[in-house]
Amino acid sequence: MENNATYQLDRERIPQHVAIVMDGNGRWAKLRGKPRLFGHNAGMEALKEIVKRSDVLGVKYLTVYAFSTENWKRPIEEVSGIFKLLIVYMERELDELHANNVKVNIFGDYSKLPKASIDALETALNKTKNNTGLVFNIALNYGGRDEIMRSVRRLAADVRDGKLDPEELTEDMLGAGLYTGGMVDPEVIIRTSGELRLSNFLLWQSAYSEFVFTDVLWPDFTPEEYERCIAEFQGRKRRYGGV
Ligand code: FPP
């Protein structure tokens, strides 16, 4: 089994774009007899360390799935608790992120979040907008199909207005209208907690991504496990449909 193999991280071949589905907060809390929000809080602590390690390793883009378009179905206390954690995270981390030249981006329509969370996010976006180091993308109220639809709708409007001939539409044009426009696609997508799904994350961008699945629950995901996952990715042979 691949998971039992030992991997040696090659610091000369760090992926440019790593995407992570941070899964298992609820189960981590349940195992401790605690409410789900306790797990999300621990998940936030884990995230802090992963952002820092990404920067140290020289990852250029880190994209994390914090809240999906489907997560609204969760109990209201959990949903509002996650949005409050965003505020806590920014209050505690923004100065350090900025000092480390990290640029924060939000993927998804965050206008649907509570005002205080929007304010915290916009403060982070504004403060870090000219930074040139690690690009830290937080997917919030994000869905891959929704993202593709937004880009398609804009292109359809251009066709309607006679600015674009449908025959001239290219993949690059569609890709440019995604939240990741101008970024490289993720070479690797990591999902924690043993679930083997993409769950509407980066559908377009994952066409050639390698998937690394780990049983570790997100709050237990350490920088060491992160490096092991990247090393596992480095052990893959990527062929992009060739031989
Ligand atoms: C998935 O675990 C996790 C989430 C839906 C929320 C992720 C949130 C954080 C990591 C904390 C805050 C984030 C930021 C950006 C500050 P789950 O609840 O689906 O776990 P389960 O599958 O065990 O129930």
Check 23, 25, 41, 141 and give the catalytic one.
23
Report the alpha-carbon distance of residue 173 to residue 151 in Å, rounded: 9
Query: Which of 20, 21, 23, 48 has the most ligand 1 atoms within 8 A of CB, as the residue to mutate?
Result: 23
Amino acid of residue 242: G
DSSP 134: -
What domains does the chain contain, in order, with CATH numbers?
A: 15-143+184-234 (3.40.1180.10)
Q: How confident is the model at residue 1 (pLDDT cuts 50, 70, 90)?
A: very low
Distance 65 CA to ligand 1 centre (A): 8
CB 19 within 8 A of CB 30: no
Report the alpha-carbon distance of residue 3 to residue 165 in Å, rounded: 49
The total number of residues written for the chain in this structure: 243
Distance 40 CA to ligand 1 centre (A): 5
Q: What are phi and psi of 170, to 5 degrees?
A: -125, 165
Of the listed ranges 112-116, 131-135, 237-241, the one predicted with least confidence: 237-241
**DSSP per-residue string spanning 173-228:** HHHHTSTTTTSPPPSEEEE-TT----TTSSTTTTTT-EEEE--S-GGG--HHHHHH
Distance 99 CA to ligand 1 centre (A): 26
**How far are the Cα atoms of 23, 124, 227, 235 from residue 216, in angstroms, in the given order?**
9, 30, 13, 20
Q: How confident is the model at residue 3 (pLDDT cuts 50, 70, 90)?
A: low
The pLDDT assigned to 5 comes to: 62
138 C-beta closer than 6 A to ligand 1:
yes
Check 71, 100, 131, 200 and give the catalytic one.
71
Please give the model's pTM, rounded to 2 decimal places: 0.96
44 C-beta closer than 6 A to ligand 1:
yes
CA-based R_g, the chain, Å: 18
Does the structure show a pLDDT above 80 at 65?
yes
Q: From its phi and psi, is residue 33 left (phi > 0), alpha (psi between -120 and 50) or beta? A: left
Does the structure show a pLDDT above 90 at 243?
no
25 C-beta closer than 6 A to ligand 1:
yes
Give me the chain's average pLDDT, please: 96
Amino acid of residue 55: D
> Which uninterrupted H or E stretch holds 83?
helix 76-99
23 C-beta closer than 6 A to ligand 1:
yes
Does the structure show a pLDDT above 80 at 118?
yes
Does the structure show a pLDDT above 80 at 78?
yes
Distance of CA 217 to the CA centre of its chain: 16
The closest-lying atom of ligand 1 relative to the alpha carbon of residue 64 is: 15
The pLDDT assigned to 237 comes to: 82
Report the alpha-carbon distance of residue 206 to residue 189 in Å, rounded: 8
Distance 48 CA to ligand 1 centre (A): 14
89 C-beta closer than 6 A to ligand 1:
yes
Query: Could you read off the pLDDT of 11-51 as tens digits, one per residue?
Result: 999 999 999 999 999 999 999 999 999 999 999 999 999 99
Q: How confident is the model at residue 85 (pLDDT cuts 50, 70, 90)?
A: very high
The pLDDT assigned to 236 comes to: 93
The closest-lying atom of ligand 1 relative to the alpha carbon of residue 30 is: 23
Q: Is 71 one of the annotated active-site residues of the chain?
A: yes
CB 200 within 8 A of CB 145: yes
Q: Is 23 one of the annotated active-site residues of the chain?
A: yes
